[in-house]
Structure 1
Amino acid sequence: MFRRKWSGLPADPQFPCDLKELGYFINKDDEIRAIDNPDNYFKFFLSRNPRWNDRQRFAMNQAIQKVIWERLETLGLKKELVPLGTSDPSKPHAPIFVSEDIGSKSRVVVIFGETVQDLGALAHRVIGGPGGVNEGSMVSIVTELLKQRSSPSDPSTPGIILANMGELIWWPGGNRTLSRSAFDATPMKSAVHNGNQFSKKNEVPGNETFMRHVNYIFDTVIPHFVNERAGIDVIGVGDSADTVERYLDLFPVWEIWKKRINCLALVGGLHPIWELKNEEFGHHFLRNRSRAYATSNEPAGMVLSGPDGNPKTSTFTQIGCPVFSSGEPYYTELTLIMGRDIVLDWLQEVAMTPEGKEYANPKFHVEFADPVAEGDNDHDWSHWQNAEQASENDDGEEAKINDGTEDAGNGNVGDEEPRLILVERPAETE
């Protein structure tokens, strides 16, 4: 009888969570390159086996995150664990970053990154490729924020809170939380086991979902660390922007925060205005003190739409606030990187509003429309069901298809070369 032992299964591949041991270094341009060939970036396809590639990517991301966290701490941010008061590192918890002197700040910027990104990362395609570590991470955002003023009367820099929307799955084997993709790449008993299963033991109390993490930041973290008189600027990236909108749209929540939130930047968010229920938040605050930055082919900062949307563009603009181009045409994860200057400059503009006055977006008269490619038919086809009107719009000639039957009737079959020749192999004779 055939018998296979568990010990006979292929072992799960192991990689060190260290850049140098993985064969990489950070060059003078802050880009990650291969030690054996400095012209090469990170090589994901190490093997034809996807498990090997995923395990190497897991180790690489862990190594990169160590570098990013060290740089954030150098900039004056401190890692805190939620739930607050966690002292046992073996108990489920998630890290966030908070300015060390946040209690003395009159202005605090809270940033909610994408739910698919590791804490501190914006886009690994930039971190591990052209651009480099700072450019593709929160390091560049924090660096620019630390150049700003808190208000016209307060020259000190704003406080910063980096929420952890991406890493909310507890991994007992590493005593830390991970993103969904990273959790799938954690070590298994063998390389062919059926993945890592998620259960209640992988949840962080009070932060089980994206929405609950947003609630924990507003309901617990901000009151604990931030001066109660400090104003709050909020940045949401991608799907986290939508989550923050849904949270602030709740009537009890908005009653608490409407007097403290200075502005809301929706970077890559796509939450439709018609799904918001709170009139005061959706039709007053968003219109006056919020801006959206969308993926677009247009230069960064171009106004695509006012608060009421723009039907002349394919970009989704029914968000309830003015919509600007982020300068990134394709990837949501790059919107804050490409639009960093215009987003942060607007936050500074709001912060510099004279005391006693409430900031409000200017009224935008938008004439932007998507460019029409040359040769496009400009005819109005709205009456296509009316054959008479449709024929008036069609100034082209009727297409003709010649299948050769007409020529066959006229005896002209042999006038043109045949398009298809069938050759029959002669039967073999015995």
Structure 2
Amino acid sequence: MFRRKWSGLPADPNFPVDLAKLGYFINEDDEVRAIDNPDNYFHFFFNRNTRWNERQRYSMNQALQYVIWERLEKLGLKKELLPLGTSDTNKPHVPIFISSDIATKSRVVVIFGETVQDLGVLAHRIVGGPGGINKGSMISVVSALQKQCSSSSDSTPPGIILANMGELIWYPEGKRTLSRTAFAAAPMQSAVHYTNVVGKSNMVERNSTARMHVGHIFQEVIPHFTKDNAKIDIIVLGGSADYVEEFLDLPLIWNTWKNRISCLAIVGGLYPVWDLKNDEFVNVFLRNKARAYVTSVEPAGMVISGPEGNPKTTTFTQIGCPVFSSGEPNYTETALITGSEIILDWLQEVAMTPEGKDYTNPYFHVDFADPVFDTDEPDWSKWQNEEVAGQKDENDKIWTEQAHNETSNPQGEKPNIVMLQRGEDKVQTKKENMKIGKVEDENKN
């Protein structure tokens, strides 16, 4: 009897979390290139085995993340562990970044990244490819915000909080949290195990889901680190919009925060306004103090829709606030990269509102409609007119008569192609039947 022992399974591949040992370096343009060929970027498909490719990317992404974290700390941000009060790094915790001098700031920008990204990363396609590390990460956003003023009467830059919406699965062996993709690529008992399973030991107190993390940021982190009268600007990316808007829509929560939140920038978020129930949050705040920036082929900053939505475009615009093009045509993860200038400029515009005045979105007269392209395709929108319907009936009649004559089908039904196994002596018969679109069912012979 054959028996395979656990020790006989192939070992899971292991790669060092080090750029140089992985064969890469950062060039003068801040781009990651291969040491053996500086013209090449990161090579994912280096092996025919998918597990080897995923394990290499796991180490590569962690190595790049540590570079990003080091640069964020040089910009004056410090890492804090959640839940608040966690000091033992061996216990489950979620890291976030906040400005080291946030307690003195009159304005704080809170950024909720995508729910699938690593902390500090905007898009790995930019971090590890054309564009470079700073451009593809929160470093570019933090650097731009640090050049802004907190208000018309405060020239100091705003404080910053980088929430960690993507890395919420505790990985005990690595003593850190990982995203779902990274957790699946983390070391396993063997290279042929199915996947790593998320259990109770992988949960972080009050931060085990994106929804809980949002609540922890608003209810504990912001009150703990900021002044009571500090104004809050919020940027949400992709799926984070669902959880932040859902949280703020709660009447009790909104009554607590409505006097502190200055504006909300929804970048790539698609949370439908009809799922929001709080009339004050929807018709007062979203309409007047929020803007959405969506993926679009239109130039960055073009107004796609007003708060009521735009029925003349296939872009989803039922978000409850004015909708703008981010300038990014394809990827939600790069929308903040492409549209950072117009998005952050709007946050600065809101912050510079003179004291005593309340910022309100201007009225936007929207003429935008999806372009109509010339095409040689027939106009199928008129398929129900009498002439076309008559042609369709006549064609169906001709087809039915032909099917009846050629297949001796008394019902005149359209024949179906049925693939059956056949013997050598039936090859010619099948070829003849295929000409009229039918194969005889041999079971009936």
1:95-134 equivalences under 5 Å are 95-134=95-134
Q: Distance in 2 between matches of 1:71 and 1:203?
A: 28
Counterpart-to-counterpart distance in 2, 1:386 and 1:375: 21
Structure 2 residue runs of 5 or longer lacking an equivalent are 402-427, 429-445
Counterpart for residue 196 of structure 1 = 196
Partner of 1:245: 245
Correspondence 1:140-179 to 2 at 5 A: 140-179=140-179
CA deviation map 1:238-262 (0-9, x unaligned): 0001211111101111010000000
Q: For residues 10 and 308 of structure 1, do their structure 2 counterparts lie closer, same or farther at Cα, with a shift above 3 Å needed?
A: same
Identity %: 68
Aligned mates of 1:372, 1:195 — CA distance in 2: 47
The amino acid across from 1:369 in the alignment is A
Superposed displacement of residue 375, structure 1: 3.0
- Supply the distance in 2 between the matched residues of 1:283 and 1:376 (Cα, whole angstroms): 44
1:30-87, Cα deviation, whole Å (9 max, x unpaired): 0000000000000001211111011001000000001000000000000000011111
| 1:299/1:378 CA distance change after superposition, 3 Å | farther
Structure-to-structure mapping, 1:24-423, within 5 angstroms: 24-375=24-375, 381=381, 385=384, 387=386
State the alpha-carbon separation in 2 of the partners of residues 119 and 345 from structure 1: 24
SS in structure 1 at match of 2:80: strand
Deviation at 1:2, TM superposition (A): 2.1
Question: Structure 1 residues 380 and 193, CA, compared in 2 at 3 Å: closer, same or farther?
Answer: closer
Backbone CA RMSD of aligned residues: 2.4
CA offsets, 1:308-353, max 9 Å, x none?
Answer: 0000011000000000000111111011111100100000000000
AA paired with 1:224?
H
Q: Secondary structure at the match of 1:224?
A: helix
- How many residue pairs match? The answer is 401
Deviation string 1:390-430 (CA, Å, 9 cap, x unpaired) is: 88xx9xxx99xx99x9xxxxxxxxxxxxxxxxxx9xxxxxx
The letter of the residue matching 1:318 is Q
Shift of residue 235 of structure 1?
0.2
Give the structure 1 partner of residue 10 of structure 2.
Answer: 10
SS at match of 2:160: strand
Aligned-partner SS, 1:244: helix
- TM-score normalized by the length of structure 2: 0.86
**Structure 2: how far apart are the matches of 1:308 and 1:49?**
50
- SS of 2:235's partner is strand
Task: Please state how far the C-alpha of 1:379 moved relative to its aligned partner.
Answer: 7.2
Shift of 1:386: 5.6
| 1:3 CA displacement | 2.5
- Matched residue type, 2:233: D
For residues 146-202 of structure 1, the C-alpha deviation after alignment (integer angstroms, 9 at most, x for no partner) is 000000100000000000000000000011000001011111111111211111110
Shift of 1:385: 4.8
Distance 1:183 1:245, change over 3 A: same
Over residues 243-298 of structure 1, what are the superposed CA-to-partner deviations in whole Å (9 max), with x where a residue is unaligned? 11111101111010000000000000001111100000011100000000001010
Q: Secondary structure at the match of 2:360?
A: coil
Distance 1:66 1:213 in 2: 22
Say which SS state the counterpart of residue 65 (structure 1) adopts.
helix
Output one character per residue of 1:362-385: Cα deviation in whole Å (capped at 9) or x when no partner: 00000000110113789794x865
Q: What secondary structure does 1:304 align onto?
A: strand
Distance 1:69 1:271 in 2: 30
What code does the residue aligned with 2:332 have?
Answer: T
Mapped partners of 1:48, 1:352: distance in 2? 55
TM-score by length of 1: 0.89
Query: Aligned with 1:266: secondary structure?
Result: strand
Structure 1: runs of 5 or more not aligned: 406-423, 425-430
How far apart are the structure 2 equivalents of 1:59 and 1:105? 37
Query: Within 2, Cα distance between the matches of 1:86 and 1:26?
Result: 34
Q: Is the helix fraction higher in 1 or 2?
A: 2
Take 1:36 and 1:229, find their aligned partners in 2: how far apart are those partners?
55
Mapped to 2, the partners of 1:380 and 1:355 lie a distance apart of 58
CA distance 1:196–1:377, shift in 2 (3 Å): closer
Structure 1 position 128, deviation (Å): 0.6
Q: Counterpart of 2:350 in 1: which secondary structure?
A: helix
Give, as a single letter, the amino acid of the residue that structure 1 aligns with 2:109: V
Inter-partner Cα distance in structure 2 for 1:380 and 1:148: 53
